[in-house]
Structures are given as C-alpha cells and as structure tokens.
Structure 1
C-alpha cells in the first residue's frame, strides 16, 4: 500500500474504534491510567466553559512536555490569550493543576478519533495550536489545519531511531508535517531530521525545559522538614525507577560507615510505589519513614520515602546532592534541569539518552558526575560530603550550566509573532 493512503486508512480505523472508547477508557481507569471523573474529556466533551476572547491551545503528552510549556503559557497570557493546556496522563493533570497560572487551565486531550477531535474543536475554537515535542496525532493535526488554525510544533524533537522509522512511510509523515505551519526544534539535529521528512519551515530554537522555573515548595512544609532533619547530611535519590531504590539503599549502607547520621531521601518517579519502597528499606535493616502516611523524619530515621505528588521542589531544596533516576536501571534518564536550577550537584547513571545534551553540558562543567553502581554512588557522595567547597563548586556549575542554555521561550515567541499579527488583521 502506498504511504499516502495511510491517512484515510488511519482516519477510518480510528472512527470505527471510537464506539469502543468507553470500555477502553474504563479499563485504563481501573489501572489508574485515567481519571474516572473526567473520562468525557477524552471523548472531546468539555469539562469547562470556553472563556471569551482569544484562546491558545497547547498540547503535551505528559508531565515533562506539559511543564516545558509553562514559559510559553506565561508569555501568551501576557499577550492577551487565555491558555488551554491538554495532556494525556493523570499525573500531568494533577501537577499542572498546581503549576498553571491564572488565565490558564487544563483539560485532558481527546483521543485521536475524528468525532472526538471535532467535538473538542467545536467547543474550544482555538485561535492558535502549539504541539509539543514529538506528539504527532494525525486526526488532530488534520482537523486543526482544516479549520485554518495556525499550528506550531514547539520544543520539537525527533530521535534518530524515530527518523528511521518514519522514513519507511515518507508520504504519511510528509502529509502531516506539511500541515504544520512552523516547527521549532530543540536542536540543529532535530531540525535537520524534520526537514528531511517534509516539514516546510523549521528552525532550531532550543529546549524550552531550560526556561521552566524551578518547582515551588511550600515554605511552612520546608521549614518543618528542616527542623525535623537538623544538621544531618542529606542526599536525594529522585525520580527513581524499580531497582534503583535497592542500589540507593546499598549506597546508604556504604556511606553511613563514614557519615553515621546520614539521611537518604527516596523520591520515586511513581508515588504509588511508596509502600513497596518503604518495605524494601525496612527489610534491608534500615529505619524508614513514609511521607504519604504522615510520618515525619526523626533522629532515628535513616531513609525517608517521599512518595507524594508535586513535592519534588520541596525535597530538592533539602540537599545540594541529587541522584536523578532512570539512569542506572532504566533507559533514557529523567530530567536534571529542575534540581540543577536550584543549585545541586547532579549524580546520574550512564543511561541518559533522553537528555543527552544537558547531561553532557553538566558533566563537562563539573556540575554532574556519572556513577555506574552503588559503590561509585557512595564514593562520589563521600567526596562531596567530605569537601563542602567541592560540593558548592559543583552545585554552582550545575546552576550556571542550565542558565547558559536558557532563552528558547523568547525565540519561540518571536517565531510565532507573525501569527499574532495575522489575528489582529483578521479581527480575531
């Protein structure tokens, strides 16, 4: 079959599957992957009224993509837009509800079936559509384009692996990319790959994630934690994935021989794993407290399991030494930019393919360090805890490195400025 036939085939297939969406969504809700109270949003039925005036629709897949859009949200509000942000995950909805400013609001993205997309567009009538990173939904893009709504792909990225896959269907991807008015890529490599696949207007604008403000922390809760912990040495293992907590606990045992009053904070990527991690710590012979159960750390606590939603900003502020997970036992790594912005030395495993550029910059500047196992993790922490000057220099280098890479949001706004002018001329 010729690849240019994929679009109508895809449209017909998603249309035929739409009647089964209720069963699909309910099953996902049973596994905690959908918000049962807001399933209608996934079928394009609004959960809110449309505000009067100009509306910008911004879409990102999940937490990372949604948070990366926040600098643009602020700038669009300053331009007089109301801002609708859509994502597809429960976690992203909860976090964005906490982080979105006045003038912006969240809805779940509709499933990519024609009737759901049309229903969504009929209600929201966006004046501008910004699609983040590697999100390419055929029905969504085609429907927005058909209504002559400007589309910009922002923070766009396309890995070499995805590029090779898309080249197997050149007509399909070209038909989609040709409907996007402008692609603003994270890097020159991303821009080159998008151009080769048929995107007509591409610029390398940089990564929006460098412009995201550091996550907030409730001052009263932070003071309470400082008081409970006192002057003890503290390190954080953040956004950990299965298997990494066991390595962190082993590193704690090694490090505690030199620093007997050490506190290790484990903040898993998925807070639902809190009970499992607390049990693991206790089975390892360590005294553990669990935040989701209201247990504060005390002088006997060796491991504090930080299994709550939206409090990473709180825990990042407890220490200048942060291990960032999905880098030892996962693949791709988690985002180190937020702890770096707060002035932390970053430790990470070798598997950081999702954030190659930022880790390379942090490593080169001396703001981050690669560790390959629990022994190396403990040894690196021992060096940093034993030399406060070295820890401070690494933390400063980390903060300065990410600051030097900021500015993408301003470049994106300059690139989409002509579309604002067109709206004024047309009276939108």
Structure 2
C-alpha cells in the first residue's frame, strides 16, 4: 500500500522532474543529462546485460573497481552502468570508456523501469552502497532478476528512517538476493530492516582497495610546489562550510603568513559562488582552471576542475575533508589517507563513521568543528613536521591493513554473472 502511495506522489511530482531535466539539458556538455534516458528510452541491448547502478562519484569509483576486475577475467561481459549525477557519469565514461554502456538512471515510475529493463535485458542488478528505489526493486522481484547491494552501508539514522515506513522497507529488503555489507554494524541494520541473515555477508569496504588516479597535469599547482609553500586543503566542501574554512585560513595567516589554502567545492555549480565568497574576504586567489590567474603569491587556490582531487591531496601537507561541518555525513577519507596525509574532519561523519573511527584510533585523524579549532590544528600540523608525517604514516597504514574487500566482493558476484 505504501508503495502505491509513493508511486502516486511520484507521478504528481513528475512534471517538476521534467522541468529539472529540461533545465539540465541546457547545461555544458559535461553536465548535460539526456532527458529521454530518465524515462527509460535507451538503446536496446543485443544480449542480456549485467546492470550496475551508482549514484555519484564515490559509488562510481567503487563500481569501476569491481567492473575492471570482472572485465579482466572476462572481457566479453555485457555491462550497463547507470549513474544519477553527471560527476558519477564522468567517472564511468572516462574510466571505462566503450568497455561498458553508460546511461543516466531511469526515474522510479513503473512504466519507466519496465521500459528500461526491457531494453537493457538485465540478468542481475548490482546497486552500489545504498540506493533503494521501491519500484525498481519491485520490478526486479517480479521479473526474477537478482538484486545485489554491494559495498552496502546503512547508518543508524538511515535505519531509523526506514523503520518508520516498515511495510515498504520490508518489501524493498525482501527483493535482495544478497547484501555485501562493509561492516558488521551495517549487516545487522539490514537484517533488522528485513533482509534474511543468510543473504548478508560482510566483505569490507571496497574503497580501501581502490587505485586513485591522478588526472591532468603532473602537478596541481607547480608554483607552490616549486616554492615549498606550506599548503592545507579543504576538499569536497558544501554550502555552509566554505565560510568557516575561509575564516580559519584568515586565522592561520596571522600565525603563518606564507600558508596557502586549496579549497575544492564538492559540486561544480558552486565554483563561482565560492569565488565570490573568497573575494568578499579580500583574500587573493587563483583558479585551477585559469592558468592566467596563477601567481605564487596568492593565498588561496580555488579547485574549480573535476577529477583532479587526488592531485590536490598530493600537493597538500594537511587535508580537511568536507561534508563534515554540516550534516552531510562526511566524504571519502581513504583518498588522503592512501597518500599519507594527516586528516582533519568535522564531527558529522556518519557516512564514514567506521573509517574515521579507525583513522582516529590510530592517531591519523583529528576532529575540528569551527574556524578556531580548525585553524589551531592546521597551524600546529604545518609547524610540526614530525607530528604531521607521523599522522600521515599512520593513515597510510590503516588503508594498507584494510585491503581485501574488492576480491571478496568480486568472488561473491561471480555466481550471478
């Protein structure tokens, strides 16, 4: 019953979705979404496909790691990948090219999902992390298509929300053939929501096994690298965080006048917004995308390009991971940890609670929640190479000790291919 109510409300909202997708169709090519794909109008597959679904960049990177391993064993596999966002799409298209077929994910309407599945002919659907759509799962269940949740995460807050719609939650959970959870706590929450215990398996977090690519030029900002300037990075920031970061940098500059900040907003549509914010603070800055603005003397570099975050991490001496000063839940801390960088985060880390807990336990990460505490930690680490390097080595050790999830996941998927 709840699924029918959900579907009715979705139909009522469909015109608004159309306006949104029409608007996006006028965006630059790299951010453009073909509206027809959102309604299931995609190219027909000549053979049954293996369908992977990933939301955005993080999930797409994890999916890419699995797919590369599967294609290494069997290059003939027919793989279709759907993503929700343009950033996720870019990761798949750039990373896998013509070895897979990419489409934007169809909206969760019964007719749309039926049309989409008739055209791609899936023999299995592998969903990355936690992207649960009632009509998708219902249609797969009716068609007898196994659904697997890979690298599955479920926070306590999310579990409580699903429990509020108990009958709908149980229906969705009942559609899963297999849930490959990143940790024991995640597994227990899925069981609590209705997944049979025998259909769950703890495989670990694939993100520990990813090879992060350093795209673009050999150096992110060669002027600072050549000058050996002390650099800290605020990565994947959201609205509400940039102001705090800039206030923190002003405080850092009072104690370390030659300190530099790289700030990389999470979403490309906010690049210009953050540029105006920097200007309002009367801080000098350059834009990564505009080489004519580059000067060694600038106080801030605005990272306004996509796919280059690992290069920015490599340049930095200290890394602040965004999405953690506001209730987003944090972003991937494994990236800076894999490069041996000391990590700072706000307290909102529920999306990466287990990973952050491991890093903090080993002395590789610190919590700072406001401009004063962030600036205090940054000044301390920039001025203390021994502590900074020690934290970085501990971070790298955590990553290296947590390898193995990718192999376990690939092995669990093979019987369904």
TM-score normalised by length of structure 2: 0.89
Pick aligned residue for 2:371 from 350, 374, 384: 374
Matched, 1:194 2:195: no
Equivalence for 1:164: 160
| Alignment of 1:203 onto 2:197 | no
Count of residues in Structure 1 that have an aligned counterpart in Structure 2:
411
> How far has the Cα of 1:39 moved from its partner?
0.9
Confirm whether residue 395 of structure 1 aligns to residue 392 of structure 2. yes
CA separation in 2, counterparts of 1:17 and 1:44?
A: 17
Alignment match, 1:41: 37
Tell me: CA distance 1:169–1:238, structure 2 relative to 1, closer, same or farther (3 Å): closer
The equivalent residue for 1:110 is 106
Aligned to 1:426: none
2:341 aligned residue (344, 365, 388) = 344
Cα displacement (A) at 1:65: 2.0
- 1:5-51 CA-to-partner distances (Å, cap 9, x unmatched) read 3345545665687688644532565799x9655111101111x563x
Q: Which residue of 1 aligns with 2:137?
A: 141
- Residue equivalent to 1:212: 210
Change (3 A) 1:124 1:333: same
Offset of residue 238 of structure 1:
0.8
Gaps of 5+ in 2: none
Greater mean deviation of Cα atoms: 157-166 or 361-370: 157-166
Evaluate the alpha carbon distance shift between residue 165 and residue 413 of structure 1 in structure 2; reply closer, same or farther with a 3 A threshold: same
* Alignment CA distance shift 1:11-1:258 (3 Å): closer
Counterpart CA distance in 2 for 1:273 and 1:14 is: 28
Instruction: Give the conservation status (yes or no) of the 8 Å contact 1:234–1:263.
Output: yes
Contact 2:362–2:394 (CA<8 Å) still a contact in 1? yes
Q: Is the 8 A contact 1:362 1:368 kept in 2?
A: yes
- In structure 2, how many angstroms separate the alpha carbons of the residues matched to 1:229 and 1:295? 18
Relative to structure 1, is the Cα distance of residues 37 and 327 closer, same or farther in structure 2, using a 3 angstrom cutoff?
Answer: closer
Q: Which residue of 2 aligns with 1:127?
A: 123
Q: CA deviation at 1:260?
A: 2.4
Cα distance, 1:216–1:105 mapped onto 2, change above 3 Å = farther
**Can you list the C-alpha shifts for 1:367-426, whole angstroms capped at 9, x where unaligned?**
111113222222222222222222221111111112222322222222233324xxxxxx
Structure 1's unaligned 5+ residue stretches are 421-428
Tell me which moved more, 288-297 or 103-112: 288-297
CA-CA distance at 1:102 after TM superposition: 5.3
Residue among 49, 53, 66 paired with 1:55: 49
What CA distance in whole angstroms lies between the structure 1 residues aligned with 2:179 and 2:257?
53
Counterpart secondary structure, 1:292: coil
Corresponding residue for 1:67?
61
Structure 1 residues 76-111: Cα deviation after superposition (integer angstroms, max 9, x where no partner): 212422322211122222333223365224210101
The whole-number CA distance in structure 1 between the counterparts of 2:178 and 2:256 is: 54
> CA–CA distance in 2 between the matches of 1:126 and 1:339?
36
TM-score norm. by structure 1 comes to 0.87
Alignment of 1:84 with 2:104, yes or no, is no
Matched residue, 2:147: 151
Contact kept in structure 2, 1:56 and 1:82, CA below 8 Å: yes
Deviates more, 1:120-129 or 1:221-230: 221-230
Displacement after TM superposition at 1:121 (Å) = 1.2
Q: What does residue 100 of structure 1 align with?
A: 96
2:264 aligns with 267
* Contact map agreement 1:214 1:342 (CA 8 A) in 2: no
Partner of 2:295: 298
- The answer to whether the Cα contact below 8 Å between 1:76 and 1:83 also exists between their aligned partners in 2 is no
Partners of 2:261 and 2:15 lie apart in 1 by: 49
Post-superposition offset of 1:349: 1.4
* Residue 407 of structure 2 is aligned to residue 410 of structure 1: yes
**CA gap 1:79/1:18 in 2 versus in 1, 3 angstroms:** farther
